[in-house]
Structure 1
Amino acid sequence: MTDTKDDKTLTVTPKKTLTLKRPGIEQGTVRQNFSHGRTKSVVVETKKRKFSAPGEREAAPVITPTPSAPKPAVTVAPPPNVERTPRPAPTVRPAGDRGGVVLNSLSRGEMDARRRALEDAKVREVEERARAVEDAKRRAEEDERRQRERLESARRQAEEEARIQAEAEARRRAEEEARRRAPQTDTADEEEEKPIAKPRSVAAATPAASPAAGAGAAIRRTPLKPEAVPAKPTKTKGEDDRRRGKLTLTAATSDGDGRSRSLSSMRRRQEKFKRSMYQGEREKISREVVLPETITIQDLAARMSERAVDLIKYFMKQGTMMVPGDVLDADTAELVAGEFGHTVRRVADSDIEEGLFGVQDEAATLQTRSPVVTIMGHVDHGKTSLLDAIRSASVVSGEAGGITQHIGAYQVEKNGQKITFLDTPGHEAFTAMRARGAQATDIAVLVVAADDSVMPQTIESISHAKSAGVPIIVAINKIDKPSADAQKVRTQLLQHEVFVESMGGEVLDVEVSAKTGAGLDKLLEAILLQAEILDLSANPDRTAEGVVIEAQLDKGRGPVATILVQTGTLRTGDILVAGNVYGKVRALVNDQGKTVPEAGPSMPVEVLGLSGTPAAGDRFAVVENEARAREISEYRMRLAREKAAARQSGQRGSLEQMMSQLQNSGLKEFPLVVKADVQGSAEAIVAALDKLGTDEVRARIVHVGAGAITESDVSLAETSNAVIIGFNVRANKQARTAAEQGGIEVRYYNIIYNLVDDVKQAMSGLLSPERRETFLGNAEILEVFNITKTGKVAGCRVTEGKVERGAGVRLIRDNVVIHEGTLKTLKRFKDEVGEVPVGQECGMAFQNYEDIRQGDVIECFRVEMVTRTL
């Protein structure tokens, strides 16, 4: 039954019959359509929510319509391709005075969810519409801004073109005005005039039209053609025209066209006529030409007061094409100057260093100076500990690993006399530093451990001292140990031509103990005695000279050089040249860290104020002014560049030679960027790494220097694919960031042992592994079988060793290797086996090879790749 009231349809169904269905569940059938005409019926059950109401056992959700607030009906469209069976109509149940209606079996929660979904959809639609309006507004503003910029650019361009056009027009008018005002002369020797084209204008728009074009008007440019000025008709000059230029009484008083020749023009014409009449050569002026070692053609011509073109012609006559910028050597330049009639005075660039070193002092000016003593010996024999005991200061504790890695310079006082000590490293990598210390010293103290006797670096120190020509004092250290044997040390020194006094020689020997302090006074007395015998003296009242012991780049103080003054006195404010660097001495710091105003002979000090870090071992001298210091520095830098260029050109060769050398030698390189705290350590590291190289692999030092690791070092390492090694230095923040971004490995070390070992291990990884072959056994082919789907199979008997599956095999026929490969199968009877021992028979088949015969021998072997080390 259906009832319509207030535009609402109410459907009432009769009371349900009694069934076995569960209460509160409605069933319906849904037909689904699939492709190719297939269909399927599905039973759908709808479970109703239960509401407990008084007087009712089962109640459905009730919606009471009210006329004042009608709600729109919610229509849910069924999905496509789905046929629904008619569902039972909503039932009307009595609920007091007003009837409850069930609409489409939807609960109140579902109705609220759908209503909220519609409201959210409307809100989203409003937001999207507002966002679209904002985007359109923003795009319009952007288009308008771009249009304004285009118009502004067009306006500026039009103004620029108008300005250029105005300037060109004004220039043209000025030229026409100048031509109109200038006196027009017609000389006898003038040539035919050429037509002059009007200069081409840059802009096509006129000054008046450009501003009026407006901001939005398009500017049209048209190419301008030069206005050709018609050439003046030429005419044959007669006698009257030739005479017209001369100023005569008739010409001055007559009413002519006013054209006249200037006095300067008449004078030039007369001089030209005289030169043409005089055919003789001018007198040659002979000059003295100063020739350096190299000179360019242009400079040579200027020094001879000749034209460079004449020198080029001279070389062309000799069959050589040259240009003014080509460089000539001194011999060639001397020949050319002689051909042009000049005398030559040869000078060398090295003359600038003349008088810098080796100035002899008068005997009356010499005064006694302190001796310079170098402590030398093997590593861990107690050199630094001995010096520590003498100075009563802790030095060993500050050294990494207990070994000295720099040259330390110290000064001590004994009986009112000062002694300067240089402590050299004993490690084998610091050979150059020991040699440098021996050359800058007066006395060498050879420290030998009584319990360890003579070692390799001890022998090397003896060689350095003898080559430098300095006397040796043997200090037998560690005599406090129970295993000490001083007599054994003296006996072994005899093998190296060091004869101590107790063995009948002249070399002083002292038994000392750095730990207990025994014998230190005797050692100092022996040093002073030896210095008295040498009679050491120097002139303190002259300019200072000496040698650079060590150099480093300090973060706070800049380049710092540890120097030893050998003669003269170095003062604050002196201009110093050391190697290829120079500078004004800003401060002098002694071995105790105190600033001193001056440093006399045999005194070690640190110098601040140089332009860079000099190389350890460079000699230094004081010059009179900064100009000469700069010239000496530039000359030495130029020599260093030329040597480096010559070395590189000699190593580089042609591209074909380099490629063939790489193919033949197979040399692999391990690139490294080495930065150390001081120059001597960097030098020792490079020397130690060079010794690691072999014919297959070597370390290539891309860059070496003293100072912290900087960003430029990281860039260099990234370009050359190198590893950065820092010895007692660290990378700054920018360098660390760049290294992390570029993936550059930075290794830090403070002991040279570890550095050399790590680089050696890394270089060992570049070595190709060694191929090692192990013999397993032999098998003789007794019969050859041809099996379908398998091919030829050899029936064999193992005659020696064993045969393994997966190992390498060789086929030998008449003691000649015919084939080398692997086994395809190894069978014992019908079973596949892993190995067959000697004396047993088996079947073998080769991989991709079937040329086997009866009587051949099969050799089985195993190949192993063994990693190689340096």
Structure 2
Amino acid sequence: MSSEDNSGDNTASRPARKTLSLKRTVESGTVRQNFSHGRTKAVVVEKKRRRTVGPGGTEAEPLATAPQPAAAPKPVQPAPQAPAPAPKPAADNRSGVVLRTLTEEEKGARAQALADSRVRDAEERQRAAEEEKRRAEEEERLTKERAEAEARQAEEDAARAKQEAERAKAAPAEQAAPADAEQPAAAPRRPAGGDDDAGKRRPSRPPEKPAPVRRDGERRRGRLTISNALNENERKRSLAAIRRRREKNKSQGPSEPGQKILREVRLPETITIQELANRMAERAVDVIKLLMQQGQMLKINDVIDADTAQLIAEEMGHTVKRVSEADVETGLVTEDDPDGAKQPRAPVVTVMGHVDHGKTSLLDALRQADVVAGEAGGITQHIGAYQVKTEGGQTVSFIDTPGHEAFTAMRARGARVTDIVVLVVAADDGVMPQTIEAINHAKAGEVPLIVAINKMDKPGADPTRVRNELLQHEIVVESLGGDTLEVEVSALKKTNLDKLVEAILLQSEVLDLKANPERPGEGVVVEAQLDKGRGPVATVLVQRGTLRVGDVLVAGSEWGKVRAMINEHGENVTEAGPSMPVEVLGLNATPSAGDNFVVVENEGRAREVSDYRQRQKREKQQVRGGMRSSLADMMTQLKDAERQEVPLLVKGDVQGSVEAIAGALDKLGTDEVSARILLSGVGAITESDVTLAAASNAVVIGFNVRANKQARDLAEREGVEIRYYNIIYDLVDDIKAAMSGLLAPELRETMLGNAEILEVFNISKVGKVAGCRVTDGRVERGAGVRLLRDDVVVHEGKLSTLKRFKDEVQRVEVGQECGMAFENYQDMRAGDVIECYQVETIERSL
């Protein structure tokens, strides 16, 4: 369209053809940046210009950007020219600017230009990063070389100084001056770049490439220290080098295995796989693998026999020594000491006799104490050990034993651990059953007797009767020409107590009692209990050696470390010598009364002995409760199954009391009823005890102990009965009554009379009625009757009718006639005899 055609149009128009091109959007410049030590760095600063194409083809103002690394600009390829768009018809004359839309070719050209610009920007950024990395590596290399040069210079200076010092020592005093004169000429030359001034030794700019100067055989050193600067010898290998060498050896493969250590393995009768591996110093996995190869799939805690363990040990190259499991006790109790090491010791005296004959009262008079007041019911139910000092300064150890028949085991223990037995016999009662039992215990223990005839202050005292009754049991006192000492005493009036002590000391001199106090302690457990605050407490009597605080001891199947020892006065002591009774704290559990204790060298030995004894105890219990084999045993088991049992759970304050209660209840049993003790122990009644009693419908018995609050609450909820006792008489009587209630009552038959049938009448609506005459005794209504025909019992039942004439009567006496009818029986004949009897139910008791 020509200009002439648009001459009359006032609208401004763009040129018909114009070349489309993209201008540079980045303008760059270089800036020099200074750093320390004279270093510089060239930094490229770029300016980016935001490209915004407006309707008139103008662009926006440039935007300053962060400095970028310098890079050679890439020549920009000119964009292809787009054809001029066709002029738009002048339809809108409202504005002086004509807006033209871009064609598809223009849009593509612009997009291509933008893509090329982004590619160029990415390439420029990559080149700048590579240049920065190269520059950093060069800077690091220069720093490292400069440090190495400085280190070498320091090493050379140190070596030169050391050489000069050695020459100064070796040169004579008169040659010192010429040597000093020749020193400047002989000085080694400094490397290039050095400076004589020490303050200017560091160069302002690093050398271009300093050549490394090394002496023959010298390695590159690390950090400069005084030790390596003054040491001309070769430096040792560093820890890092050693670590790198080890890692290298590991990566190359496993090293040669060391020589295997072969051991002598002690094998008991049975051993676990873990213990076997420990004794061979082998891995348990290797032992299990060998067992798997033999076809045995076992775990690490399984037990194998000695033969299998021997095969495994020999397979691994070890030698085997077979030992018995009981060898753990070998050497535990040593033999008697030589006479030269022994010293005199105090005698141990046991006071024995019948119940209520005054044993404890006599001991109280000797000790000037009041033990009887502390015992329930005035009888001794605990075994006690005390020491008494005489007026002459000598010491006597007394053991007080109960006199009740239930405490037989206690008296037997007292007789075993004692040196002398004082037999207390009441002058008014004479020899009683427990007196005879004490005599038998003393004879069994071969212990000398001293008879103390007590209660001489009573009006009915007759010591002659006591002497004569003792003759029946082969006890001949001195007054009758025998060798048994006798003393007439009164514990209440404290008469002749000094004579009793003199007799004890005289008998001990005859026995010549000695022991070695310089050896580990050994003795016997007299009594044991579980104290709420102190734990297991054992009353022990030291027989040989000395027991000290801190010793490790084994008492029966229990062990422990002595934490404290308390004497009879309640005082803490650090050691206890022979014949001294003490309470020991620190055991892991309550031992049994009568167990021997011995001090061992360490806790490991104590555990080993304790484990062995506990295993022995469990095996005995399993054998005792095993299956019965013989026919007689099977019959006994069937009889036991029909026996009525009273389940009980017994808790006591001391081991001896629990033992006595169990023995007394066992004696109460018969073929029909017995007391079965589910659990017996020492200590307070706990929740677990109540739970066990609830599950088995048992009665909980507490002897001198009580249940805690939780146990009482649980007993109320579960309906468990807890009975408390402090006197063994009452306990035995109550259990005896309960067992008697389980006995089947006895039926006793009492004959009332006989009647002879004279005639049998058949009455309507009633049946047959026998007309009888009472020939003996009487006949009562409701009593049991038997119908005898030719002296053979035909029927046994009860009378339904008893009439005299037409009236119902309660009884018919001898010589009278009456009518009788039987319940559910009509076959009566004349001449039969009716026998009338009465059955009485009598309660049985043990």
Shorter chain as denominator, the TM-score bin is 0.5 to 0.7
Give distance in 1, aligned partners of 2:813 and 2:655: 66
Give distance in 1, aligned partners of 2:426 and 2:307: 60
Q: What amino acid sits opposite 1:811 in the alignment?
A: L
Give distance in 2, aligned partners of 1:336 and 1:788: 100
What is the Cα deviation at residue 450 of structure 1? 1.1
Q: Does 1:544 align with 2:521?
A: yes
Give distance in 1, aligned partners of 2:569 and 2:466: 35
Give distance in 2, aligned partners of 1:439 and 1:660: 35
What is the Cα deviation at residue 606 of structure 1? 0.6
What is the Cα deviation at residue 394 of structure 1? 0.9
Give distance in 2, aligned partners of 1:330 and 1:788: 93
Q: Does 1:581 align with 2:558?
A: yes
Closer, same or farther: CA 298–713 of 1 in aligned 2, 3 Å: closer
Q: Does 1:723 align with 2:699?
A: yes
Hey, what does 1:183 align to over in structure 2? none
Q: What amino acid sits opposite 1:868 in the alignment?
A: R
Closer, same or farther: CA 582–296 of 1 in aligned 2, 3 Å: closer
Closer, same or farther: CA 778–335 of 1 in aligned 2, 3 Å: farther
Q: What amino acid sits opposite 2:408 in the alignment?
A: T
Q: Which moved more, 1:358-367 or 1:538-547?
A: 358-367
Contact conserved, 1:785 with 1:793, CA < 8 A, in 2?
A: yes
Hey, what does 1:683 align to over in structure 2? 659
Hey, what does 1:798 align to over in structure 2? 774
Contact conserved, 2:345 with 2:513, CA < 8 A, in 1?
A: yes
Q: Does 1:753 align with 2:729?
A: yes
Closer, same or farther: CA 297–561 of 1 in aligned 2, 3 Å: closer
Give distance in 1, aligned partners of 2:517 and 2:499: 30
Hey, what does 1:137 align to over in structure 2? none
Closer, same or farther: CA 588–334 of 1 in aligned 2, 3 Å: same
What is the Cα deviation at residue 363 of structure 1? 2.1
Render the CA deviation track for 1:386-422: whole Å, top value 9, x for unaligned. Answer: 1110011111111111111111111011111100000
Closer, same or farther: CA 585–342 of 1 in aligned 2, 3 Å: closer
Hey, what does 2:432 align to over in structure 1? 455
Give distance in 2, aligned partners of 1:388 and 1:309: 70
What is the Cα deviation at residue 571 of structure 1? 1.0
Hey, what does 1:632 align to over in structure 2? 609
In structure 1, the residue corresponding to 2:720 is in which secondary structure? Answer: coil
Contact conserved, 1:312 with 1:323, CA < 8 A, in 2?
A: no
Hey, what does 2:331 align to over in structure 1? 355
What is the Cα deviation at residue 515 of structure 1? 1.2
Hey, what does 2:686 align to over in structure 1? 710
Contact conserved, 1:587 with 1:609, CA < 8 A, in 2?
A: yes
1:502 to 462, 479, 498: 479
Structure showing greater Rg: 2
Q: Does 1:442 align with 2:414?
A: no
Contact conserved, 1:301 with 1:308, CA < 8 A, in 2?
A: no
Q: Does 1:843 align with 2:825?
A: no
Hey, what does 2:531 align to over in structure 1? 554
Give distance in 2, aligned partners of 1:836 and 1:335: 95
Closer, same or farther: CA 324–817 of 1 in aligned 2, 3 Å: farther
Give distance in 2, aligned partners of 1:351 and 1:660: 38
Give distance in 1, aligned partners of 2:535 and 2:583: 12
Contact conserved, 1:297 with 1:311, CA < 8 A, in 2?
A: no
What is the Cα deviation at residue 764 of structure 1? 0.5
In structure 1, the residue corresponding to 2:349 is in which secondary structure? Answer: strand
What is the Cα deviation at residue 723 of structure 1? 0.7
1:293 to 260, 269, 281: 269
Hey, what does 1:854 align to over in structure 2? 830
Hey, what does 2:401 align to over in structure 1? 424
Render the CA deviation track for 1:817-845: whole Å, top value 9, x for unaligned. Answer: 11111112111111111111111111111
Contact conserved, 1:298 with 1:308, CA < 8 A, in 2?
A: no
What is the Cα deviation at residue 657 of structure 1? 9.3
Contact conserved, 1:422 with 1:437, CA < 8 A, in 2?
A: yes
What is the Cα deviation at residue 640 of structure 1? 1.4
Hey, what does 1:522 align to over in structure 2? 499
2:389 to 392, 413, 431: 413
Give distance in 1, aligned partners of 2:518 and 2:753: 89
Hey, what does 1:486 align to over in structure 2? 463
Q: What amino acid sits opposite 1:627 in the alignment?
A: G
Q: Does 1:464 align with 2:441?
A: yes
Contact conserved, 1:665 with 1:695, CA < 8 A, in 2?
A: no
Give distance in 2, aligned partners of 1:768 and 1:825: 32
Contact conserved, 1:374 with 1:424, CA < 8 A, in 2?
A: yes
Q: Does 1:869 align with 2:845?
A: yes
Contact conserved, 1:433 with 1:680, CA < 8 A, in 2?
A: yes
Q: How does 1:653-672 map to 2 (within 5 A)?
A: 661-662=637-638, 666-672=642-648
Q: What amino acid sits opposite 1:616 in the alignment?
A: A
Render the CA deviation track for 1:557-585: whole Å, top value 9, x for unaligned. Answer: 11111110111111111112111222111
Contact conserved, 2:287 with 2:312, CA < 8 A, in 1?
A: no
Give distance in 1, aligned partners of 2:595 and 2:382: 16
Contact conserved, 2:290 with 2:312, CA < 8 A, in 1?
A: no
Q: How does 1:594-613 map to 2 (within 5 A)?
A: 594-613=571-590
In structure 2, the residue corresponding to 1:540 is in which secondary structure? Answer: coil
What is the Cα deviation at residue 354 of structure 1? 1.5
In structure 1, the residue corresponding to 2:625 is in which secondary structure? Answer: helix
What is the Cα deviation at residue 714 of structure 1? 0.8
Unaligned stretches of 5+ residues in structure 2: 1-252, 254-261
What is the Cα deviation at residue 650 of structure 1? 3.9
Hey, what does 1:564 align to over in structure 2? 541
Give distance in 2, aligned partners of 1:299 and 1:537: 44
Hey, what does 2:190 align to over in structure 1? none
Closer, same or farther: CA 625–799 of 1 in aligned 2, 3 Å: same
Give distance in 2, aligned partners of 1:841 and 1:667: 49
Give distance in 1, aligned partners of 2:582 and 2:275: 45
What is the Cα deviation at residue 302 of structure 1? 11
Q: What amino acid sits opposite 2:425 in the alignment?
A: V
Contact conserved, 1:312 with 1:324, CA < 8 A, in 2?
A: no
What is the Cα deviation at residue 339 of structure 1? 13
Q: What amino acid sits opposite 1:687 in the alignment?
A: G
Give distance in 1, aligned partners of 2:835 and 2:536: 70
2:669 to 678, 687, 693: 693
Give distance in 2, aligned partners of 1:469 and 1:738: 51
Q: What amino acid sits opposite 2:338 in the alignment?
A: E
Render the CA deviation track for 1:206-260: whole Å, top value 9, x for unaligned. Answer: xxxxxxxxxxxxxxxxxxxxxxxxxxxxxxxxxxxxxxxxxxxxxxxxxxxxxxx
Contact conserved, 2:273 with 2:300, CA < 8 A, in 1?
A: yes
Contact conserved, 1:429 with 1:684, CA < 8 A, in 2?
A: yes
Contact conserved, 2:687 with 2:711, CA < 8 A, in 1?
A: yes
1:814 to 772, 775, 790: 790
What is the Cα deviation at residue 295 of structure 1? 4.9
What is the Cα deviation at residue 666 of structure 1? 2.6
Question: CA RMSD of the aligned region, Å?
Answer: 3.2
Closer, same or farther: CA 593–825 of 1 in aligned 2, 3 Å: same
Render the CA deviation track for 1:17-71: whole Å, top value 9, x for unaligned. Answer: xxxxxxxxxxxxxxxxxxxxxxxxxxxxxxxxxxxxxxxxxxxxxxxxxxxxxxx
Closer, same or farther: CA 856–327 of 1 in aligned 2, 3 Å: farther
Hey, what does 1:21 align to over in structure 2? none
What is the Cα deviation at residue 325 of structure 1? 9.2
Render the CA deviation track for 1:445-496: whole Å, top value 9, x for unaligned. Answer: 1111111111111110011011111111111111122211112211111111
Hey, what does 1:788 align to over in structure 2? 764
Query: What is the TM-score when the length of structure 2 is the normalising length?
Result: 0.64
Q: What amino acid sits opposite 1:377 in the alignment?
A: G
Q: What amino acid sits opposite 1:419 in the alignment?
A: V
Q: How does 1:108-187 map to 2 (within 5 A)?
A: none
Hey, what does 1:388 align to over in structure 2? 364
What is the Cα deviation at residue 617 of structure 1? 0.5
Closer, same or farther: CA 838–730 of 1 in aligned 2, 3 Å: same
What is the Cα deviation at residue 358 of structure 1? 3.3
